[in-house]
Amino acid sequence: MIQYIKDSQKITKDQLYMQAALAEAEAAASEDEVPVGAVIVHREGIIARAHNQIERLCDPTAHAEILAVTQAAAFLKKKWLVDCALYVTIEPCLMCAGALVLARLGKLVFGASDSKTGAFGSKADINTLGLNHRIRVRKGVFGEECGQLINGFFLAKRKLKKV
**Closest C-alpha among 65, 69, 72, 40 to residue 51:** 65
From the list 65, 91, 144, 145, the catalytic residue is: 65
- Phi then psi dihedrals of residue 151, to 5 deg: -65, -40
Beta-strand runs (E) in 14-156: 37-42, 45-51, 84-90, 107-112, 136-139
Q: Is 71 exposed, middle or buried (0-12, 13-18, 19+ CB in 10 A)?
A: middle
Please indicate whether residue 65 is annotated as part of the active site.
yes
Annotated catalytic residues are: 65
